[in-house]
Structure 1
Amino acid sequence: MDCFCEEAEIYELKVEGDVGADPIWCNQCGCNLDLEYVPISNELKSELTEWITKYGEWINWDIDRIIPNGIEMEEEHIKQGAKLTEKVKEELLGKYRIKFSPSTMARSYARKTP
């Protein structure tokens, strides 16, 4: 796995959703890591890929607004992300420090909605 860290060695990973990005990030430099090269099982990679494709479904991108029940949808996405993070921790036990960064997008959009 390559990132932009000066030491060129990754010690901390973060599981985080974002539009158009893989769900694993270097928590030191913020580089988005190619899921293909993260040393986890293919099954977990598939679960993470499915999870990330649902990121942002609580936003109507055409009008840039949260949809009805959007906050609840995001909360469910956060719960799933936390569970997947625990699986990542189990598979990478002792190799990296791993944290989960939950989305706050729906609440941000809800504040913008008149």
Structure 2
Amino acid sequence: MDCFCEQDDTCHLKVEGDVGADPIWCDRCGHNFELEEFPITNELKIELMEWATKYGEWIDWDLDKLIPNGVEMEEKHNKQGDYLTEKVKRELKGKYKIRFSTSTMGRSYQNK
């Protein structure tokens, strides 16, 4: 799996939601991988993409503020992301070190 790291190959991955991006990244250089590059089931790829497209639904982007129940929505999103990360780990069977990167964006909007 090529990325921008010095060795041009990574074994350290993170599952992380972001607007308009696939949900798997190099945990070292931050390269965003195409989900199709991974030997995981199509079912899991679909689950990951559906999860990723919901990233940030707790923010009213036009008003730049947290929507009602936004923190709870973000917590639910993080729980699902953690669950999906465990599924990715099982399917990749130890080929990579994989962690989940929780979203804290809602909490930062809460403190505005």
- If the length of structure 1 is used for normalisation, what is the TM-score? 0.95
Divergent runs of 4+, >2 A: none
Aligned to 2:26: 26
Alignment of 1:35-54 (within 5 A): 35-54=35-54
2:4 is the alignment partner of 1:4: yes
Q: How far 1:94 moved relative to its partner?
A: 1.7
Q: How far 1:12 moved relative to its partner?
A: 0.6
Deviates further, 75-84 or 37-46: 37-46
Q: Which blocks of at least 5 consecutive residues in structure 1 are unaligned? A: none
Q: How far 1:52 moved relative to its partner?
A: 0.4
Distance 1:6 1:35 in 2: 22
- If the length of structure 2 is used for normalisation, what is the TM-score? 0.97
Alignment of 1:83-94 (within 5 A): 83-94=83-94
Aligned to 1:75: 75
Which residue identity does 2:70 align to in structure 1?
G
CA deviations 1:23-43 (Å, max 9, x no partner) are 000111111111111221111
SS state at 1:31 partner: coil
Which residue identity does 2:63 align to in structure 1?
I
Aligned residues: 112
Q: How far 1:2 moved relative to its partner?
A: 2.6
Q: Which blocks of at least 5 consecutive residues in structure 2 are unaligned? A: none
